[in-house]
Structure 1
Amino acid sequence: MRYLLPLVVGACMVVGLASPAQASGNEWSADLNYKLVSWGGSPRTGLIELEPHRLAQPANTVTAAVTGDGVVDVRGLRPDGQWTEWLEAPATLPVATNTVQTRVVLSSGKAERVQLTASDKPAPAEDVSIAAAGRAYRVYATREGLVGGNTANGHTIRSRDHFVALPSRRGLAPNNSGSYSVQVCASNGRCEWAPVWDVGPWNTKDDYWNPSTTREMWKNLPQGKPEAQAAYEDNYNGGKDQYGREVANPAGIDLADGVFWDGLKLTTNSWVTVTYLWTGSGPVGTVRTSAANGTVNVRSGANSSTSQVGLAANYAQVRVTCQLTGESVTGTQGTSNIWYRIASGKHVAKAYVAGVSGATSC
């Protein structure tokens, strides 16, 4: 289950800005006149997400000033078309970028305007000592539940839903987006690919998948070990989370009911292996189904007669290892006999995956 947190547990969703961002060089601003579609959490919190902004010159550092309530997160578009993680401003991005996106996180009241400045400054080299698939760690998974509630990006939780929560908003994807997605695999061999649409469990600033040099909090913990796990197993931080609560389990990820029951076939909270796909490299695609809450079968081979070994959720991103010819399938992306291998012994039909470029033959 997800434990309600005093930050970013529910969100407002923006349908439009009253006035566009105003830019001059690498300085720009936006009036935050918006319509709230949903607002939730305990206490109530909100999220205003602005449209990506094209810079006049490449930059890697962004500062921000908000008139009213709120803190500012920023992220940059990488040369391969993927986004960096969200960082709280002032922020130094891991790459120089031509495009920056901003969001304002509200804990109370209302933000009226945000002023931003981007510049290029020397920065440490980005960590590239990871496999193409991305960083992967074994963590404890709990079931989120909370059907009918709102996630941190404004999504209303459905029955048998397909998303996950991580205890840091650095990897929080916008609603109906899989820009931050994970591959979650259980000990029974089943896996699901799902977007990160919520923040939790326990902490909200524990990006434990990052190295200590960039980890937001708990920098003295081993990379890949959630603070909740250290608190529960080792009495780290006196056995408490960042808010001083006694940690009752070592959870490092929450799974929506559909991921828990249908994708992984779990019956109780369990240890799973999570791959944080945005930390990887290589061809990437986005799963698209006709149903908003839909999934695509992941097969052991390039044919629908092979065993189903997991699911890939609508909007989830997948890393493509290679492609091969198999059964012809008709789906949201047309008809094709191409299948993508997205992990060892795991395949999805191209007919349900958009945007893949540069995949090699298996």
Structure 2
Amino acid sequence: MIRIKKAGRVTAAVLAAGAVTALAGAPAQAATAGTGAAWQADVSTVDYDDVNVTGAGGTLTLADAAWHRTAQVFAGSEGSFVTTEHALGSPANRVSAELSADTPKGTTVEVDVRGRTGADDWTEWTPAGTAFKTAVSAVQARISLHSDTDGVRPAVKSLGLSADSVPQVNALAATAALTYKIYATREGLVGGTTANGHVITSRDHFVALPSGRGLSPKASGSYSVRVCKTDNSRCEYAPVWDVGPWNTKDDYWNPASVRAEYKDLPQGQPEAYAAYHNGYNGGKDDLGYKVGNPAGIDLGDGVFYDGLAMSDNGNVNVTYLWTGTGPTGTVKTAGDPMNVRASASTSAAVKGLAANYARVNIECYVQGDSVTGTFGTSTIWDRIGPNNYVSDTYLQTGSDEPVAPLC
């Protein structure tokens, strides 16, 4: 991430008052020859997965500098822009950014990048210039704009990107996705807009985490979670579409080596938990709000009421599905979530729901009842969690054949 402020800099050279050019990822170690590539991102074409920004005149800025999504989450106006996917000529593990922007006092501009590792698999959004833990074949950048003063806008003039490879320090090893017991709250806010631009509907099926590193673009689920009751009697698989309920840069599921902030806290412990129970950070979140509960995840009403059948806020088991490795599939329905069954039968007990767009990990497959779904008719059922099965006909896997071994 590049964060540009008028009064400060991160590997930034100030050219004039309120105008900066920043270069992220100046090589600290030798890059592998032959893997580099450089290109200019188009910052003038705004589309459906961009939030509160305009590219009129070829300059990217906030569309409404008085737009406040959620007072508790963002103090000031926010906007985000996701570049089109750029295919690399050869795999690389680092993407650097050179940004030209006007940043009046009280405004900031940040750049994060992510890399494609599979059909619908991506690295987390990572600060530009930071090496990924694996090589990637294509990349996207996300520009985040912020203003603390209504009517005052930052403006991005250009974004240059380059990819190369550096020696791996902690390469990814095959592993199961991380799971932690987390206090959950219900989001509600029907009619409001999430951090990725989704307008919240009644009984909606998404979750919020307190960091944009695992935020899926609108109408996608590249970052999804499995949320289960603590006895695992019911679960829902849902995309991450919002940031909250407390904090905006607390990727607590990550180890201290890559955790953006609060590196002294145990992996898996949200800052809100420490603030609420232990008075950490004076009992406040990263925006200075007094933390009113220990929540590390917000649940859309549909996840809360229908997926988990919860009646009050409380602890749940959260699996951050993108942190694992192995075959994956993306749920594709007509819109509503699909039932998750206890076995490969349409009459088996319902164990929860899988939301449209959710990206799920496929552990193995079995033969079961014939089902006609989005992708045809089949007797193949995929196990996506402990005693959790869905018909393969509703999963986009990129193959007509099973992508995981037989159970």
TM-score, length basis structure 2: 0.79
Matches within 5 A, 1:60-139: 60-68=93-101, 70-78=109-117, 82-108=121-147, 109=153, 110-128=155-173, 130-131=175-176, 134-139=177-182
**Partner amino acid, structure 2, of 1:30:** A
- 1:223 maps to 2:267: yes
Partner of 2:44: 33
Shift of 1:263: 0.2
Correspondent of 2:286 among 226, 242, 253: 242
Instruction: Compare 326-335 and 111-120 and name the one that shifted more.
Output: 111-120
Is 1:60–1:96's contact at 8 Å kept on the other side of the alignment?
yes
Q: Helix, strand or coil: the match of 1:91?
A: coil
Query: What is the CA–CA distance in structure 1 between the aligned matches of 2:319 and 2:387, rounded to whole Å?
Result: 16
Kept after mapping to 2: 8 A contact 1:166/1:199:
yes
> What percent of counterpart residues are identical?
51
Distance in 2 between the 1:339 and 1:129 partners? Answer: 24
Measured on the aligned residues, the alpha-carbon RMSD in Å equals 1.9
Q: Who is 1:211 aligned against? A: 255
1:45 aligns to what SS in structure 2? strand
- C-alpha separation in 2, matches of 1:127 and 1:330: 37
Q: 1:347 to 1:71 in 2, by over 3 A?
A: same
Map of 1:149 onto structure 2: 192
Post-superposition CA distance 1:136-167 (Å, at most 9, x none): 00000001111111111111111100000011
Max Rg structure: 2
- For residues 346 and 25 of structure 1, do their structure 2 counterparts lie closer, same or farther at Cα, with a shift above 3 Å needed? closer
TM-score, with length taken from structure 1: 0.88
Instruction: Give me the whole-angstrom Cα distance separating, in 2, the residues matched to 1:175 and 1:311.
Output: 20
Distance 1:347 1:31, change over 3 A: closer
Q: What runs of 5+ residues in structure 2 fail to find an aligned partner? A: 1-34, 53-66, 104-108, 148-152
Find the counterpart in structure 2 of residue 298 from structure 1.
340
Within the alignment, does 1:165 sit opposite 2:208 as a pair? Answer: yes
> Relative to structure 2, which stretch is displaced further, 36-45 or 307-316?
36-45
Q: Aligned partners of 1:46 and 1:35: how far apart in 2? A: 12
**1:41-56 alignment, distance < 5 Å:** 41=69, 42=71, 43-56=76-89
Counterpart for residue 353 of structure 1:
395
Q: Note the C-alpha offset of 1:326.
A: 1.0
Comparing 51-60 and 338-347, the one that deviates more = 51-60
SS in 2 for 1:145: coil
Q: Distance in 1 between matches of 2:358 and 2:178?
A: 17
Given residue 180 of structure 2, which amino acid in structure 1 is its aligned partner? Y
Instruction: Map Cα deviations across residues 302-345 of structure 1 (whole Å, 9 max, x no partner).
Output: 11111111000000011111111111111111111111111121
1:127, distance to aligned residue in structure 2 (A): 4.5
Pairs aligned (count): 335
